[in-house]
Chain A
Amino acid sequence: MTKFDTTIIGSGPGGYVAAIRCAQLGMKTALIERYSTLGGTCLNVGCIPSKALLDSSEHFENASKHFEAHGIKAEKIKLDWPRMRQRKDDVVTQTCTGIEYLMKKNKITVISGHASFKDKETISVSAADGKQQTVNTERVIIATGSKPSSIPGVVCDKKRIITSTEALSLENVPEKLIVIGGGVIGLELGSVYARLGAEVQVVEFLDRLIPGMDFSLAKEVQRILKKQGMKFFLSHSVQRVSSKGKKVKVSAVNNKGVDVEFNGDYCLVAVGRKPYTQNLGLENIGVTPDKQGRIPVNENLETAVPGIYAIGDVVAGAMLAHKAEEEGTFVAEKMAGQKPHINYKAIPGVLYTWPEAAGVGFTEDELKAEKYNYKAGSFPFKALGRARASMDTDGFVKVLADRETDEILGIHMVGARAADLIAEAVVALEYRASAEDIARMSHAHPTYAEAIKEAMLDATEKRSIHM
């Protein structure tokens, strides 16, 4: 029986990238996936389908609300929801097929079924049809990802009380959607249905949205989404969610201790995700998840068992596809004896509402907490020719820099295409650029990226040109 050099459990962005990198490095590689398609949450029920719906619903919103201002008269604009959903499914199918192709191209053995450790070098795989298979391997990367989690008092029936997975494939557009959780997932999916006509109420336990991102982004995003028709209830602690027929009722207590009730036809529970290690047989190799269900790893992302590694959502850190990808590459190269690094402080966070929000590096609150001697510069998109031309004038770019050395410490932005603009910020951080460095680099005109340059000028010596 063939023995693999490396076996990866889970084919999400962490797992499949690790598999490709292992194969590139000359390892005989196997990839185990329990679902019928490759790609994990990201490709099947996460990043990709949600972006497909976000883009489609954005077109719909533009056509129904903004075309007129551009001088386009479009009458009787109608939503074809089944078609919109179908396009999303097609995008997912295409992308997953792409991963299959990549596995073939890199001669990676794909094994279908649920993996469970027998011992550290033996994994039994049970296929959906009940067939059992044993995989022998030198080393293993656990990349099993995460599942939507819930909060006490809330049980997702997956019909009316739903997770992000169901929210991507609803039969009908809700009339009144209640979103529990003002994080990235809740705001993105809330946005989709708000644009398609639903009344969306977001109920958040904290006193702010998108925790983890800079507070200024949270405020700006809230302001903009409110303008788009979403309603926000911050500092509300959800106690119970019940459903009866086509109705759901969410009971919460606000920070003044007052009971508040929300009624709708769907309730999306978007309160975070928990690592997925169910029936993985971790007990057979002596790996014990921590209280939050994460697999403990050392700085090499290796578990307590030598040769068993874990990456992505199943370990500590931000639950982001691109973080998992970096870790997949990192572990593959570590196994090959190389010495890669990951700069976790330079992994950007992105919110794909419109406008988008993105940030990387230290937030202002983090710097304040550390009593760091920093300075800030910012620039609003409304002062930018490009933004006015497209009527995407909401948002700003904010840069935080060391007051003494001018080194950029964090870049945060809300605005059109912020998700793509943030790449420049990552390069700046990785190279430890100063605000003046970026301010002195030519940025094409007219572009949204000019806002970054202007914010850098503002941070340098308060000398932005267009303000």
Chain B
Amino acid sequence: MSIVEIKIPSPGESITEVEIGSWLKADGDYVKLDETICEIETDKATLPLIAESSGVLKIILQEGETAGIGDVACSIDIDAIQPEKTSAETPSASSETAEVKEKSVSTADSYAAGHPSPAARKMIAEQGIANVSGGGPGGRITKADVQEQGRQVPDGVAAAESVLQMEPAEASGSRNKKRERLSRLRRKLAERLVAVKNETAMLTTFNEVDMQAILDLRSQSKDVFLEKYKVKLGFMGLFTKACTEALKEFPAVNAQLDGEEIVFHDYVDMGIAVSAPKGLMVPVVRNAESLTLAQIETEIARLAKRARDNKISIEEMEGGTFSITNGGVFGSMLSTPILNPPQSAILGMHNIVERPMAVNGKVEIRPVMYLALSYDHRIVDGQQSVSFLVRVKENLENPTRMLF
């Protein structure tokens, strides 16, 4: 019998730990070479685990388990014969996988998976929680697993009082609660968002843009652009261009703090926030300052698709020097974006709404977008940030400016 062990691949240098997101194949399934069999979650992205051979899958690390790089996630019995599609039985596979289990008992999908520790058992009984996933060795349920999954456990005295003295409150209608374990991505996101608020001197400056020129430019050139470059001329490309031009004039906005030093970049690696199934992701367009509009659009389209397909790699999201986020696609009028550390600034785009504007002493209806620039006041002065945003506004209102 030949068994191929599939190990957790390294998603990037900074990652030492991952979490098994979800198995796309069940234990005992026949999997094919290069098929995606599992989703692995890291702090930054979801990665696919690819079958390195065809054969019968033996899952070793369970969903929700934390694993190190190089840990064996599963094994594939490559001698097993692909079952007939109609037949569910794989007798040869099942007897052989049992053997595997015996050989690697301490790391394998353990007989003790789901076994609660004494304290966990009591909490589970008290809180009536079912299906606690075991995060301990071999899938054992630890006290922390229950705490994470369950509601706050009353301490002894409180529990006693609630039983001895309190009548249950009457309620009408359904009051069910549904609990889901936070994904590693979401947990990390939460941590980082709070850290940014606590660790930077973040504030936001606003401006408004008359979008008429951009809209005109798009309607005039979109067909030609699409035909020539096989990619749509979107707002993102134009905004990226407007920013890279402005960043050249205000390098502090494109800089970042590193201990007691400021690191200036002579390039712009532009982070573009993309809403992906697992949460917000920010892939990076490299050297955006030297790319043409068409190159920028092509790259954004490629990255966004990979993010939505959960195929984005850690490398593709690392090292941005400035970011743009577009809340306008969801209809946001105005918001204060949060910095993407260690970057010092982020531009927030919003929806385009026709608003009355005073133009040359007359009220005119114009398509207007509010812009927000959040920045780290520790290294970006108000004068720079405000001037930068004004320059972005000017670039957008007079796109020809960007030509020279």
Contact = CB atoms under 8 A, between A and B. Distances in A.
Interface stretch (B8-16, B44-52, B153-161, B216-224): B153-161
A247 interface: no
A24 B98 CA distance: 48
B105 A405 contact: yes
Interface in B105-159: 105-106, 110-112, 115, 117-118, 121-122, 125-126, 137-138, 140, 156-157, 159
B63 to A, nearest CB: 20
B164 interface: yes
B111 A337 contact: no
A341 B122 contact: yes
A336 interface: yes
A341 B126 CA distance: 11
Contact of A338 (B112, B118, B138, B159): B159
Interface stretch (A39-47, A219-227, A428-436): A428-436
A454 interface: no
Contacts of A390: none
B163 interface: yes
A340 B122 CA distance: 5
Contacts of A341: 118, 121-122, 125
B102 interface: yes
A366 to B, nearest CB: 19
A456 to B, nearest CB: 11
B9 to A, nearest CB: 25
Chain B contact residues, majority secondary structure: helix
Contacts of A430: 117-118
B111 A25 contact: no
A405 B140 contact: no
Given A338-B122, A339-B125, A341-B118, A436 B105 contact: yes
Nearest to B163: A337
Interface in A435-465: 436-437, 440
A25 B156 contact: yes
Interface in A1-56: 5, 24-27
A75 interface: no
A404 B97 CA distance: 12
Nearest to B156: A25
A318 to B, nearest CB: 18
B160 A26 contact: yes
B162 interface: yes
A339 B126 contact: yes
A24 B157 contact: yes
A440 B156 CA distance: 36
B105 A406 contact: yes
A343 interface: yes
Contacts of B159: 25, 336-338
Contacts of B156: 24-26, 333, 336, 338
A407 interface: yes
Contact size class for B?
20 to 34
Contacts of B138: 434, 437
A26 B161 contact: yes
A434 B164 CA distance: 42
B160 A25 contact: yes
A343 B118 contact: yes
A108 to B, nearest CB: 15
A430 B157 CA distance: 26
B122 A431 contact: no
Interface string A398-412: 000010111100000
Given A26-B161, A337-B162, A338-B159, A432 B125 contact: no
A431 B160 contact: no
A428 to B, nearest CB: 11
A336 B111 contact: no
Contact of A26 (B106, B122, B140, B164): B164
Interface string B24-50: 000000000000000000000000000
A343 B117 CA distance: 11
A128 to B, nearest CB: 34
Contacts of A432: 111-112, 115, 140
A338 B164 contact: no
A434 B106 contact: yes
Nearest to A341: B121
A340 to B, nearest CB: 5
B115 A431 contact: yes
Contact of A336 (B115, B125, B163): B163
A407 B117 contact: no
A384 to B, nearest CB: 24
B126 A407 contact: no
Nearest to B161: A26
B137 to A, nearest CB: 7
A25 B162 CA distance: 11
A339 B153 CA distance: 12
Nearest to A401: B105
A74 to B, nearest CB: 47
B171 to A, nearest CB: 19
Contacts of B162: 337
A316 to B, nearest CB: 22
Contacts of B126: 338-339
Nearest to B154: A338
A402 B112 CA distance: 12
A132 B115 CA distance: 51
Nearest to A440: B106
A404 B121 contact: no
Given A25-B159, A26-B160, 15 more contacts: A24-B156, A26-B157, A333-B122, A336-B163, A337-B162, A338-B160, A402-B111, A404-B101, A405-B102, A407-B112, A430-B117, A431-B112, A431-B140, A433-B112, A440-B106
Which 3 pairs of residues, A with B, have the shortest CB-CB distance? Answer: A337-B163, A339-B125, A336-B160
29 contacts: A5-B164, A24-B156, A25-B156, A25-B157, A26-B156, A333-B122, A333-B156, A336-B156, A336-B159, A336-B163, A337-B162, A337-B163, A337-B164, A338-B126, A338-B160, A339-B122, A341-B122, A404-B102, A406-B102, A406-B105, A430-B117, A431-B140, A432-B112, A432-B115, A433-B112, A434-B106, A436-B105, A436-B106, A437-B106
